[in-house]
Structure 1
Amino acid sequence: MKHWIEDIAKAGDLLQVSRKVDPRHELAAVVKAIQKDGEKAVRFARVAGSQMPVVSNLYGSHKRLCDLIQAPEDGFCKTWTDLTANAARDWRDCVEIIDRPQGLTHGKMSDLPQITYHGKDAGPYVTSAIYISKEPDSGVPNLSFHRSMMVSDDELRIRLGSSHDMARFQAKAEGRDEPLEAALLIGVAPEIFLSACSSPPYNVSELGLAVGITGQAVRMYPARHIDMLIPETTQIVVEGRIIPNVRRPEGPFGEFMGNYVPVGDNHVFEVLDVYWQPDAIFHALLCGSPEDLRPLEAVTAARIYKHITSVVPGVLDVSCRPNVMITIIRIDKQYEGHGQHVLLAALGSHLDYNKVCIVVDKDVDIYDLDDVMWAYLTRGRADTRAQVLRDIPGFYRDPQKDHWGRLIIDATMPWGREEEFQRKTIPGEESIDLAAYLDGT
């Protein structure tokens, strides 16, 4: 992660906060203000109660994510699909096992920044940590995100979520009355972070995706108290295990959809060891912020892109912005009904998230919702090009059915009438340098 921070700083995209900040609400408020103002990352040099500096918004820029995988800004989906085509390889071919690094500092959970993000949060949370665990039978390692409430130096409480592989691992271990060993990885290399945002098939490790990004094996060393391998450059590691048949209250917490998840009886993680690298940096992630959404949107869009392009021709790009529950597809329209075929393919690609699907022509900026809605409003009828599909299930855990139903919109031009809808342009507008025209600039 330190190399990633250095790259961001060299690009002029890292802000510095030198004054001491309170980890209870103040730090999160500053992060949110910075995100409202732009896409720059931020480093807090002094956080009350901890010796560690804190960074945030490292992944809050779509451009930085594209730079990470060397993709053009409108080509993340294709580049990601190509890079990760061999993700299903044997995970052991993706790893280089090394000796445990020297100079690690051992401490306790209370040595880490105790960040409370939202007004009703039950307490400090670790939000950026990636849990690494293993399938109990095959031993395939898995990377996944789970919010972790700090209760004491010995205990975290986590929500696994029924759709995650680690939840299936834990259920299998618990059925044998065994704990599930796992480690929290805080401050990982960017290829690890981005890979953990994806959802490969069960028994396919995200480590294969990370290798696809860098072209190099992931250097990992054995953990101290659990049978697990740890990525070498991880800043902070928390080793432990999920206790079987024990649930305790966790929450409330301000989750990624913008509201609070209420108190629930969730899993208990027993902390066995906490250690960190020299001059470790703590990564804090504001849930529901651009840093939370941009990586999830990007890898979700790539998954949808991969599915659609295998079914329908002419698909150029997919965006899931400004929220992962919307899917916007840009196509080179080739026949009447092409847009409808694309929408049908999109609906079948990722039913958890495709709450709204919109297809547009190749001249529309799918990363600008204003441009997308302009196309819908100006290129045909509002009624016949939109359709509500009722009672289609949404999220796995949605007892109130708040995320059921789907809206699909064909915002492409009417077939055969493209000349009527050609965008107006001003010759030379793209080459204008305003500084050469405006006085005093």
Structure 2
Amino acid sequence: METFRELIDHLDKRRELAFVDRKVNPKHELTAVMRRMQAGANHALMFRDVAGSDIPVVTNVFGFRRTVAAALGLEEKDLLRTLVAKEARGLPVDRVDDAPVQQVVSLAPDIDVARDIPQVVFSEHDAGAYITAGILIAPHPETGAYNASWNRCQLVGKDKLRVRMMPPQHLGRYHAEAEAKAQNLPCAIVIGAPPGLMFSAASKVPYEADELEVAGAWQGKPLRVTRCKTIPVDVPADAEMVIEGEVIADIREDEGPFGEFTDSYVPVMKNHVFRVTGITRRSDALYHTILAGGTEDLNLVGVPIQTEIYKKVSAFVPQIKDIATPGYVFGCVISINKQNEDQARNAVLAALGGYSWTKIVVVVDDDVDPFNAADVLWAIQTRATPDTDVYTIPRVSSYTREDVREVHSGKLGIDATAPLSMKPLFERRRFPGEDAINLEDYIVDRD
């Protein structure tokens, strides 16, 4: 899929997009509805009447991993191995002048992010409205290679945002290099981006890579870009909305608190200041927002992490069925077709070292669904021997956020695969005909 619109149409055709027509308050009420949806059918939502804005709000578009695969034109079963094959590639961008994202243009002094952007407030103690589905795009101050990354942005004035971006994140390094030259960093915030760019921005591609070109490779066709109206930055021509501006050198302001993806609050911290110089959008723009730590966020974060772990583990275990990050992205479950007893242990160690955030790894046989937490717990309880199959690595850091890093010290691995010598004893039951049963053909309608 080459545009956000194609993704929305795909969900609508599959009846995985629900519409909300009643007026909804963007402060808390919108998020409350979203959380109820994520706890149930987990469909995407389009709020067509959001108080204070004429722009519909769309969320939870990647509630399912299968939607990630479909958006990239892939089969879910082949998702990780295909992304690994494509990750190092790039396609030169396709530059255009006639861009849907610039159908409506607001320039100084007629800029007001409070007027032009839905003011979505998520959690009880959030400092205010935040942009959470904005991809920040900037060219490197020296090489011109483009970085794209997801960064939260606090809305604090007509033409000002506060942005969380720090080294070693690539965008933070870009800004640090510009700041060393006493320069501001020209930067654009893209909302409603093409799916390929969404995953390029979330991926762990090398620092030197141009992520606009990586996005083209992931979507199988060059990314259409256009030049911003006020800054020397290229942006996706088919996005829904772009906020143009620059990250100011040598200025930091208090940002937060914010309820982040760990399901706790990031406290008030000094963060960067973004000065808005222009806002462009489609005439019928959709505003994409993401609940940090919700099902959509965990898929956007989780698939690139799964891909990184797949690269490391596949060097030791050639027959990986799949890798999941159920529950949370600080751990993973790896399903393998085990050929010798060393492979599960090697998979544990490779995964724990393969991605810095990973602190808990469970390896299961290929008859276990790694995305089903109950199935994984079943494997641990029926196939793991605590004396010999549990591995701890003390005093190794994983998640390094300053205020909680001491909690994320040490790593744990569990081999929940059955011993090969006892494999016949662990054959799982099968129930012939179960997959073909439609319960509606059997249950009596009591009405």
Q: TM-score, normalised to structure 1's length?
A: 0.95
Question: For this pair of structures, how many residues does the alignment match?
Answer: 435
The answer for the alignment partner of 2:30 in structure 1 is 27
1:237-316 alignment runs, 5 A limit: 237-316=242-321
Q: TM-score, normalised to structure 2's length?
A: 0.94
User: Of 99, 104, 117, which residue of structure 1 is paired with 2:97?
Assistant: 99
Q: Check the 8 A contact 1:100/1:222 in 2, yes or no.
A: no
User: Of 78, 81, 106, which residue of structure 1 is paired with 2:81?
Assistant: 78
Change (3 A) 1:160 1:380: closer
Root mean square deviation, CA, Å: 1.6
Q: Unpaired segments of 5 or more residues in structure 1?
A: none
Q: Deviations over 1:4-29 (max 9, x none)?
A: 11111111011111111111111111
Secondary structure at 2:395's aligned position in 1?
coil
Distance 1:36 1:341 in 2: 35
User: Of 39, 43, 52, which residue of structure 2 is paired with 1:40?
Assistant: 43
The answer for the alignment partner of 1:109 in structure 2 is 113
Q: Check the 8 A contact 2:379/2:416 in 1, yes or no.
A: yes
The answer for the alignment partner of 1:348 in structure 2 is 353
Please tell me the residue identity of whatever aligns with 1:205.
D
Secondary structure at 2:354's aligned position in 1?
coil
Secondary structure at 1:316's aligned position in 2?
strand
Distance 2:315 2:22 in 1: 52
Q: Check the 8 A contact 1:394/1:401 in 2, yes or no.
A: no
Change (3 A) 1:380 1:355: closer
Q: Which moved more, 1:104-113 or 1:118-127?
A: 104-113
Please tell me the residue identity of whatever aligns with 1:308.
V
Please tell me the residue identity of whatever aligns with 2:358.
N
Q: Check the 8 A contact 2:105/2:278 in 1, yes or no.
A: no
- Aligned-pair identity (%): 34
Distance 1:38 1:267 in 2: 38
Change (3 A) 1:348 1:208: farther
Please tell me the residue identity of whatever aligns with 2:364.
V
Shift of 1:85: 4.2
Q: Check the 8 A contact 1:99/1:221 in 2, yes or no.
A: yes
Q: Check the 8 A contact 2:364/2:417 in 1, yes or no.
A: yes
Change (3 A) 1:242 1:75: same
Q: Deviations over 1:378-408 (max 9, x none)?
A: 0142332112211001134345422111010
Please tell me the residue identity of whatever aligns with 2:151.
H
Q: Unpaired segments of 5 or more residues in structure 2?
A: none
User: Of 228, 234, 247, which residue of structure 2 is paired with 1:229?
Assistant: 234
Shift of 1:437: 2.1
Distance 1:414 1:386 in 2: 14
Q: Check the 8 A contact 1:162/1:397 in 2, yes or no.
A: no
- Alignment of 1:359 with 2:359, yes or no, is no
The answer for the alignment partner of 1:382 in structure 2 is 386
Q: Check the 8 A contact 2:290/2:296 in 1, yes or no.
A: yes
Shift of 1:167: 0.4
The answer for the alignment partner of 1:149 in structure 2 is 154
Distance 1:98 1:69 in 2: 23
Shift of 1:52: 0.6
- Alignment of 1:208 with 2:207, yes or no, is no
The answer for the alignment partner of 2:61 in structure 1 is 58
The answer for the alignment partner of 2:204 in structure 1 is 199
Distance 1:181 1:278 in 2: 25
